[in-house]
Amino acid sequence: MAMKRRTTILVALGLAAAVLILFWKPTVLIYGIQQAGLYAAIAIPMGLVLGIVHIVNLAHGEFMMVAAYATYFACRATGMDPLVAALPTAAVTGLFGWIVFRLTIRKALKAPELNQLILTFGLGIALSQAVNILFTSQTRKISLDYVSASVDIGELSFGVWSFVFVAVAILYAYGLKLFLTKTTAGKAALAVGQNPRGAAIVGIDVDRTYGLVFALALALVGAMGALFLTKSAIFPGVGGPFTMKSFCLVAVAGIGNIPGILGASLLLGLAESFLRAFRDLRGWADIVFFVLIIVVILGRSIKWRKS
Amino acid sequence: MKKALAIVATLLVAASAFAQGTIKIGGIWPLSDITGKQGSMAAQLAVAEINAAGGVLGKQLELVVVDDELKADKAAAAVEKLVTVDNVDVLVGGMGSGAELGKIPAFKKYGKVVMSTGAASYTVENALGADANWYFHLHPWDYNQGASYAEGWEAIQATYKNVKIKKIFLAYEEGAFGKASWDATKKLFGETGRFIVDGAPFKSAALGGGDYAAVLEAAKDFKPDLYLWAGYDADALPMLEQAKAMKFNPGIYLGAPPGWPIGFGTSKLSANVMLYGMWAPAMNDTNKASKKFYDGFVKKFKEEPQTYFAPLSYSAIYILADAIKAAGTTETAALIKALEATKYDSPLGEVVSFTKSNVIAHQGIKRQKILQWQNGRQEVIWPLEAKTSTPVYPFPKWK
């Protein structure tokens, strides 16, 4: 009861703050939500892997970068739009994820966590260096008219394309929820994530399920790579910062809490956008992220001690 | 008898090879970056052309290239390797100032003639000191660049009466490059009182950012005549797309990244964006040396030079070769003397000679150019004597 009341108060406070910001500087809210959508759509697949396979994939951003490069060259060769390319890219990166899992990650599942971290970190470096050697560090971008689509409200003009990331994040979060609770494969994945030994006893192929989840996560990252290309320029190092942000968002949301990633991303996107609205505070926009994670983790550990 | 003849023949061949030998040039560039990659390719082109024309002092030139990965430690190790293992006669190359700073202790240790193609930061010449008479710097220093921009805008306003610049806004990336640009802009344009200067930082996409809404909003509120952004190539198109979405229409929209993304000119958004640079393929129409370089590069590598570091590195090799020829040796003192007499008609549209800068004795090019993307290619707007087109002004309203 107390928990419900606290949640209601928090939601009411959040809404009141949103209304105030909307009147003060509406773009803070608009761009904050758009940025939150981007963060969430990239972080959710990492949350899936961490929640079920229990691996921190430090090559997460690099996989997205590789998908963006694959989309770029496919679009250049065929004249296809990156939006259309999102589905085939997802299929290809999903398959790539399956192969990577079978060849590398599967062998490190029972190894100490540090080994797993080093493995995925190494994979990330190998991917970015390979792209660097093959295609140089020069940036590439596909220029698309619809990316500059805007809405005018009085004096205010703002871009609307980035709302697509909000839609994708919501689709990912609730699509995964449906997958995990309504399908046999999803229920098996959930069971493996909660108790792999118990799942194996009841006849679930744990390794296969891990592989499936990893491939699914990479397919989602692959689709995001294609969408990311619509908005951003790509280069070998473009994915790295998103690995760190995704990991922090997953940590703030709590391991396995995929809808929570939406909330954490919203908090981060709005906080960054709010700080950027003040010229002297812009430099703090990056730090707010780490402050957030420290506060949440400290809060959790204090709560855990009390209980 | 046969044995004796064989010995004599072997000795003759060996003597001939010794007489011919090679003149070794050690080149250091960041090879995974387009500037370094094409810079080294252009240097290779110059070496091939010189060798095809008979070489220098009857010897062939040999270019040994090492990748500095834009890192100071790798750059320092590259100098050590080139001098002690490859026994090069002279050194050439360079792009980033950080990597150049890393090389300086090794440069000083060996005292070989260095023809530097990069490093704009004044901190590099401060680290070199006035005694580094073996250091020849082709690329303008940052203060040279700033002064030439100020000169350029004054000249453009005086020539094209419709161009009016009073308010300048600089969007600068948060790192050292952007901050240095901001400091220089405030000093050069703000302190004279001729211009009203404002600016705001943004996090470059190259460093994990890529959201320009806040900085563009600040710029839009300021209503600048000249909007200038100092960031990286990764920011070029996304910033334009966001500016269009926000209907931000400054009088002049100008970018100053070290390089542009592949295919930038093919984007409709690139039309009439201005830029700072040193060379553009459009100069082939008015400059024979530029055309010779361009045609040779395209023929040899089947790709277009996309950065001014290519003609700059090409020039560096020719300047060195001419000086070695004039000196008749690669011996340092004689070579320095010959280089001091350089008058090289470069593909960059000016005759290169070396004069004193704030600290060092041998500064090559001091002026940059103001260019504009028109119909998919970069046109030179200023210096007026090198112009290939007239400026499109103001930057057209977004449709």
Does A271 map to a domain?
yes
B32 interfaces chain A, CB cutoff of 8 Å: yes
B6 interfaces chain A, CB cutoff of 8 Å: no
Distance from CA of B70 to the nearest CA of A (A): 12
Cβ atoms B174, B204 nearer than 8 A = yes
Are the Cβ atoms of B261 and A233 closer than 8 angstroms? yes
Are the Cβ atoms of A286 and B201 closer than 8 angstroms? no
Higher pLDDT, B337 or A19: B337
Over residues A217-221, mean pLDDT: 97
pLDDT, position B337: 97
Q: Which uninterrupted H or E stretch holds A78?
A: helix A60-78
Joined tokens for residue B32: 């995974």
Three-class SS of residue B173? Answer: strand
B64 interfaces chain A, CB cutoff of 8 Å: no
Residue at A118: amino acid letter: I
Does A150 map to a domain?
yes
B246 interfaces chain A, CB cutoff of 8 Å: yes
* A186: Cβ contacts below 8 Å, ≥ 6 apart: A178, A179, A180
Q: Residue written as tokens 């960031």?
A: B231
Three-state helix/strand/coil letters over B211-256: CCHHHHHHHHHHCCCEEEEECCHHHHHHHHHHHHHCCCCCCEEEEC
Q: Which uninterrupted H or E stretch holds B22?
A: strand B22-29
CA atoms of A166 and A288, how far apart (whole Å): 21
- In order along chain B (399 residues), what is the average pLDDT of each group of 10 residues? 52 44 95 88 98 96 94 95 97 92 97 95 93 97 89 94 94 83 84 88 87 92 95 92 94 89 90 94 94 97 92 98 97 97 95 97 95 94 93 91
Cβ atoms B169, A279 nearer than 8 A = no
Chain A residue at shortest CA distance from B210 = A232
pLDDT digits (tens, 9 = 90+) for A258-288: 989 999 999 889 888 888 888 777 777 778 8
For CA atoms B328, B330, B331, B334, the dihedral sign is positive
Does A2 map to a domain?
no
Cβ atoms A206, A195 nearer than 8 A = no
CA atoms of B344 and A220, how far apart (whole Å): 56
CA atoms of B354 and B343, how far apart (whole Å): 8
Cβ atoms B179, B207 nearer than 8 A = no
CA atoms of A189 and A204, how far apart (whole Å): 9
Are the Cβ atoms of A232 and B238 closer than 8 angstroms? yes
Report residue A154's pLDDT band, with 50, 70 and 90 as the boundaries.
confident
Task: Find the CB nearest A148 among B205, B245, B261.
Answer: B245
Select the residue from B41, B216, B217 to test the A interface by mutation, using most A Cβ atoms within 10 A. B217
Are the Cβ atoms of A139 and B267 closer than 8 angstroms? no
Instruction: Point out the least confidently predicted range of A130-134, A197-201, A282-286.
Output: A282-286
Does A19 map to a domain?
no
Q: Which whole-number Å values give the CA distances from A14 to A21, A30, A270, A292, in the listed order?
A: 11, 15, 11, 16
The partner residues of B374 in beta bridges, in order of sequence, read B377
* A77: Cβ contacts below 8 Å, ≥ 6 apart: none
Our measurement of the distance from residue B288's CA atom to the centroid of its chain's CA atoms, rounded to an integer in Å, reads 20
What percentage of residues in chain A have a pLDDT greater than 90? 67
Q: Which of B249, B224, B221 is nearest to B396 (CA)?
A: B249
Distance from CA of A126 to the nearest CA of B (A): 15
Select the residue from A75, A148, A151, A284 to test the B interface by mutation, using most B Cβ atoms within 10 A. A148
Q: What is the CATH number of the domain that holds A235?
A: 1.10.3470
Q: Which uninterrupted H or E stretch holds B293?
A: helix B288-301
B98 interfaces chain A, CB cutoff of 8 Å: no
pLDDT, position B13: 44
Cβ atoms A261, A173 nearer than 8 A = yes
Are the Cβ atoms of B246 and A150 closer than 8 angstroms? yes
Task: Find the CB nearest A158 among B201, B211, B245.
Answer: B245
CA atoms of A158 and A161, how far apart (whole Å): 10
CA atoms of A170 and B8, how far apart (whole Å): 85
Q: Which whole-number Å values give the CA distances from B49 to B61, B63, B101, in the listed order?
A: 10, 13, 31
pLDDT, position B11: 44
Are the Cβ atoms of A31 and B213 closer than 8 angstroms? yes
CA atoms of B274 and B268, how far apart (whole Å): 14
B235 interfaces chain A, CB cutoff of 8 Å: yes
Number of domains in chain A: 1
Distance from CA of B230 to the nearest CA of A (A): 16
B265 interfaces chain A, CB cutoff of 8 Å: no
Residue at A280: amino acid letter: D
Select the residue from B70, B215, B262, B266 to test the A interface by mutation, using most A Cβ atoms within 10 A. B262
CA atoms of B362 and A157, how far apart (whole Å): 51
Chain A residue at shortest CA distance from B211 = A35
Contact residues on chain B for A273, CB-CB shorter than 8 A:
213-214
B201 interfaces chain A, CB cutoff of 8 Å: yes
Does A8 map to a domain?
no
CA atoms of B115 and B189, how far apart (whole Å): 32
Neighbours of A151 (CB within 10 A): 12
Task: Find the CB nearest A159 among B174, B242, B259.
Answer: B242
pLDDT, position A1: 59
Walk me through the domains of chain B, giving residue ranges and CATH numbers: 2-140+286-352 (3.40.50.2300), 143-277+369-386 (3.40.50.2300)
The parent domain of residue A206 ranges over 27-254+264-306
Our measurement of the distance from residue B151's CA atom to the centroid of its chain's CA atoms, rounded to an integer in Å, reads 20
Q: How many CB pairs below 8 A link A and B? A: 112
Are the Cβ atoms of B246 and A158 closer than 8 angstroms? yes
Are the Cβ atoms of B269 and A143 closer than 8 angstroms? yes
Are the Cβ atoms of B200 and A282 closer than 8 angstroms? yes
Neighbours of A104 (CB within 10 A): 14
Task: Find the CB nearest A35 among B211, B232, B233.
Answer: B211
Higher pLDDT, A162 or A156: A162
B217 interfaces chain A, CB cutoff of 8 Å: yes
